[in-house]
Chain A
Amino acid sequence: MTAEVQKYTLEQIEALEVAPGFEHEKLEGWVPSLASDEEVRDALEKAFDYRGDVTITTKSGDKIEAYVFNRQTGATLQDSFITYFAPNVNGKLKMSYAEIARLEFSGKDRAAGKHWEDWVKAYNERKAAGEKDIALHPDKLE
């Protein structure tokens, strides 16, 4: 955490009646420009937060589908790394930021559209329509 994101004093926190939530960025389909080191770092930070797969094109031309779950930032792009899972590969994989030529937020954002407000609205509508056993069900895994 850097100094600029420090927002609250202890007194404010203690008196907090309502805490603001978080804005959910719409990143699905986004292809960030990776023109500068700063842009690469920023894009991979967003990939780390993203709840879907991204497609990485490496500088050697390989295309890799990845769920990025960790990042380790160093002084240069060479010594900064992402760790990811790829479909159909068992273990954890690692790649240097410097190897990445293109990034696309290609996979479905699994956090999108699952708002509490949507559930409340859908529930009330379904209830009013006389529906019984109203429920949300997990997505199919196949």
Chain B
Amino acid sequence: MAVPISQMWTVASYVLKKRFSGQKRYPLVLMLEPLFRCNLACAGCGKVQYPPHVLKRMLSPEECFAAVEEAGAPMVSIPGGEPLLHPQIVEIVNGLIARKKYIYLCTNALELKRRIHEFTPSKYLTFSVHLDGQRDHHDFSVCREGGWDLAVDGIKEAVKRGFRVTTNATFFDGTDPNSVRAFFDEVMDMGVEGVVLSPGYSYEKAPDQKHFMGRARVRRLFRAILSNRKPNWKFNMSPLFLEFLMGDRKYECTPWGSPAYNIFGWQRPCYLLQDGYADSFKELMETTKWEEYGVASGNPKCANCMVSCGYEPTAVIEGFGSLKGFWGMVRGTFSKYKDPHAQKLLAEWKTEPHAPLVQIETTNRSLEETNA
């Protein structure tokens, strides 16, 4: 695992403290969205589809700090929109570092090289750069040719200046696992601390996307990608979550593990699903009908979701909250996941023509619905 010991220790002691105090629900990562405006216009991104007067709104640094203190999570992820477009982002980041929060600043990195001198390297700050695969795949995915080159320039500059940098990818149906593995080689060569990855999800606000990768297909894809790992690959994620993606573990969602706060308030129930907002973190925790979300609920909106914001907290809590989980994590950190079947799967994978990240599938394979 690529995460530094100090961060692991902070998270582990936080989980144990919560566990011993008998607290049932607690957050691990606050998803802090200070604005929705972006300098990309990725097709299908529901995060940026708002009228201009909404896109112009931003959280002030004080609002960000209040949310962070209210939630109390040891880690803060700052997605958006594009956080580097926030005029006070440096102040927000510095304020969170002063509060000793481990920050993941999620950026498409178009502006990173130009802005990097404004930030100071710290063990608390990681630039989590959105890179959805190799050059062509990424450019196609973010709907901008040349996007990869700008992002990679930003990564290299940040690494050179001593910042912690990870890459962050979402993979949809049609992804070629061989290309993803080549992508891992490329980004590890850039000197990043580790790779973060997640399967796509049938995001309800995404416009007119007809079909999405279901769970069986997610597991097949990630088994092909993540088995038979190369020794230099590092992942900035819980090994147990990666095993969940590969189909070796069955987890239920922990939506309160990554609560989301933005200009509208505290989002119910999670970063992905928008089922309304609460005015305070306490109200979010106490009045959200949590039993209506996650796979076991049968809620069709959660049906194919295996994303990190819902399931990685489950893995982290298991990993730091029980001896068995901890042992699984240690084993997973050093395992290469040798698997001849996965090797065969990889060798026989049918690559698709261009538009490799298209989320749309042929209709005749859609799931039969019961009691609908």
Contact = CB atoms under 8 A, between A and B. Distances in A.
Nearest to B204: A22
B53 A67 contact: yes
B39 A114 contact: no
B62 interface: no
B297 A1 contact: yes
Contact of B360 (A6, A85, A117, A139): A117
Interface residues of A, number: 61
Given A135-B145, A141-B56, A19 B304 contact: yes
Contacts of A108: 51
Q: Is the interface of B mostly helix, strand, loop or mixed?
A: loop
Contacts of B53: 53, 67, 85-88
Contact of B143 (A14, A72, A113, A136): A136
A142 interface: yes
A116 B360 contact: yes
A16 interface: yes
B interface, size bucket: 35 or more
Nearest to B39: A138
B216 A14 contact: yes
Interface in A1-45: 1, 5-10, 12-24
A23 B144 CA distance: 26
A119 B43 contact: yes
B49 A110 contact: yes
Nearest to A16: B214
B303 A70 contact: no
Interface in B42-63: 42-44, 46, 48-57
12 contacts: A14-B250, A19-B303, A24-B208, A69-B54, A70-B265, A83-B264, A83-B277, A113-B207, A114-B43, A116-B360, A133-B146, A135-B144
Interface of A: 1, 5-10, 12-24, 48, 51-53, 67, 69-72, 83, 85-88, 92, 107-108, 110-120, 123-124, 132-142
Interface of B: 37-44, 46, 48-57, 140, 143-147, 173, 202, 204-217, 250, 264-265, 276-277, 289, 292, 295-300, 303-304, 354-355, 358-361, 365-367, 369-372
